[in-house]
Structure 1
Amino acid sequence: MAKKTLKRSSSNRVIAGTVGGLGEYFGLSRTVINVIRVLIVLGTFGSWGTLLIVYVIASLLMTPSQG
């Protein structure tokens, strides 16, 4: 059984494929990931700037998928 790895999506992407990669890893749609992301930001951080910083860091840490 192959080990799942967290990678940016090459097919399910809008900007960098980070949200699409999270969706593919957890088996969720990109819409569900976006709703969860917004709820987390509004519930804990309260800042869209923090969301942007977390997104940029995640897209830099996640390797792009091949194909």
Structure 2
Amino acid sequence: MTSRKLTKSNQNVWVTGVIAGLGEYFGWGAGRITAMRIAFIIALIVGYGTPVFVYIVASLLIPKRA
């Protein structure tokens, strides 16, 4: 069994690589990662700033890939 580690993406980065890192961790393709980015933007509009806080916390907690 291979061990996976959640890290920020180094290649598919828009802001900090958190969403692409999550997508790579779960084995999602580029289309699904783009859909997650769109869902995050919609959550920003609907969530009144809460998604920004979650994204910042995730950005601080998830390490960069070495």
Determine if contact 1:22/1:33 at 8 Å carries over to the other structure.
no
One-letter code aligned to 2:59: S
Q: Unpaired runs of 5+ in structure 2? A: none
Question: How many residues are aligned here?
Answer: 62
Change (3 A) 1:32 1:26: farther
In structure 2, how many angstroms separate the alpha carbons of the residues matched to 1:32 and 1:8?
18
- Structure richer in strand, relative to its length: 1
Match of 1:32 among 17, 31, 35: 35
* TM-score between both structures, scaled by the size of structure 2: 0.76
Q: Unpaired runs of 5+ in structure 1? A: none
Structure 1 partner of 2:6: 6
Deviations along 1:22-63, whole A, 9 cap, x unmatched? 010011232132245457x48xxx414001000000010000
Runs ≥4 in structure 1, deviation > 4 angstroms? none
- Percent sequence identity is 35
How big is the shift at 1:5? 0.6
